[in-house]
Amino acid sequence: MLTKNEIINLLNTTDEKVLFKKADDVRHQFVGDEVHLRGLIEFSNICRNNCLYCGIRKGNGKVIRYRLSEDEIINMARFAASMGFKTVVLQSGEDLQYNIKKMCYIIENIKKFNVAVTLSIGERSFEEYKAFRQAGADRYLMRIETTDKDLYHKLDPDMSWERRHECLMMIKELGYELGSGIMVGLPGQTIESIADDLLYLKKIGIDMAGIGPFIPHPDTPLKDEKGGTLSLALRTMAVMRLLMKDINIPATTAMESLHPQGRIMALQAGANVVMPNVTEGEYRKFYELYPNKICVNEQPRQCRTCIAMKIESIGRKVGTGYGGHNNKQPIKL
């Protein structure tokens, strides 16, 4: 167990190579050399929220909005499963059009492909989370974004930090594997606050930690802010690995958007998961949370081949199982 001061010192390290090596060793020892792939489907970019940092915020009138039908989503998941993905992640803006009936139909049908299903659709009611879980959803991703409540309320107007925390607690209580995480480099965010974030994630007992740099989007109020660096994002991720040795940690797409080797660097600094995009057709470029998003002109097969090559090039292997935390198998309630 690291103290807050120790965490701060590690985050501030001037010798990041040592930190990354240590995180890489812990990763090797506790979760092994397999890299688990999750096929990401970005199924709707319609969002009721107006987060200042996010490219698909409600207030961004320049976005071409789309919403995939239930059967389009199921078909994309079928294709992902046929390419060997053992987990499908369904992500969208907070789009309430996908009600209990629609989401359960989607989840139940995707579960027929023998994949783990992860949802990343934001804040919902207990009743909804429960219904999705009963329909077969295994995991849920929702970043807390920051534990600095003042900063959170500045960045996410009309949203409540406490409400988000409660959602995470409900998700855990329902037996989902819980993924959460933060952005680093938010305007006004301090190293001390990042240390608090990491301690929070440990305290609530997450199964997966997604950590990425904040990248200012030109069509948002934060367009002139500096954004996070790859270095700080990697250091934060590496410290997370030291704090929670056996959880799943993705090499995030935002990291690769800042550097062509971003994900490879992450995989060698504590990460053991990659979430390649399996959204088909034109939609990827409309799901632009931040600029310079990678793979917008690729199709699922290309990303699958590309990432497998990258993983093998550093002597690691693509995972063959579901890749749950502690090898937990997907279970139906």
Is the Cβ of residue 157 or residue 321 nearer to ligand 5AD in the bound state?
A: 157
What element of type H or E holds 118?
strand 116-120
User: Phi/psi class of residue 216: alpha, beta or left (left: φ > 0; alpha: ψ in -120 to 50)?
Assistant: beta
- Whose structure tokens read 């092994």? 32
Residue 141 bridge partners (DSSP)? 179
**CB of residue 55 vs ligand 5AD: minimum separation in angstroms?**
6
Binding site for ligand 5AD (CB under 6 A): 53-54, 143, 145, 183, 212, 214-215, 217, 254, 289-290
Cβ proximity to ligand FES, 6 vs 298, nearer residue: 298
At which residue do the structure tokens 């995707």 appear?
110
Q: How far is the CB of 146 from ligand 5AD (least distance, A)?
A: 9
Give the sign of the dihedral formed by CA 27, CA 209, CA 56, CA 43: positive
Three-state SS letters, 43-99: EECCCCCCCCCCCCCCCCCCCCCCECCHHHHHHHHHHHHHCCCCEEEEEECCCCCCC
The closest of 181, 81, 303 to 293, measured between CA atoms, is 303
Residue 295's binding partner, choosing from ligand 5AD, ligand FES, none, with beta-carbon cut-off 5 to 8 A by kind?
ligand FES
Which one of ligand FES, ligand 5AD, none is in contact with 143 (Cβ closer than 5 to 8 A by kind)?
ligand 5AD
Beta carbon of residue 300, minimum distance to ligand FES (angstroms, whole number): 9
CB of residue 91 to ligand 5AD, shortest distance in Å: 7
82: Cβ–Cβ under 8 A, 6 or more apart, which residues?
A: none
Residue 307 binding result from ligand 5AD, ligand FES, none, given CB thresholds of 5 to 8 Å by partner type: ligand FES
Residue 111, binding choice from ligand 5AD, ligand FES, none, Cβ under 5 to 8 Å by partner class: none
Q: How far is the CB of 180 from ligand 5AD (least distance, A)?
A: 9
Q: Which of ligand 5AD, ligand FES, none does residue 306 bind (CB under 5 to 8 Å by kind)? A: ligand FES
Residue with Cβ nearer ligand FES (104 or 295)? 295
Residues found near ligand FES in the complex (CB under 6 A):
276, 295, 298, 302-303, 306-307
- 3-state class (DSSP) for residue 154: helix
Rounded to the nearest whole angstrom, what is the least distance from the CB of residue 317 to ligand 5AD in the complex? 27
**From ligand FES, ligand 5AD, none, interface partner of 54 (C-beta below 5 to 8 A by class):** ligand 5AD
CB neighbours of 193 closer than 8 A, spacing ≥ 6? 146, 147, 148, 151
Closer to ligand 5AD by Cβ: residue 129 or 214: 214
Bridge partners of 208, per DSSP, are 179, 248
Q: Which is nearer to ligand 5AD, 252 or 272 (CB)?
A: 252
CB of 294 to ligand FES, least distance (A): 6
User: Which of 295, 321, 322, 297 is closest to 310 using CA atoms?
Assistant: 295
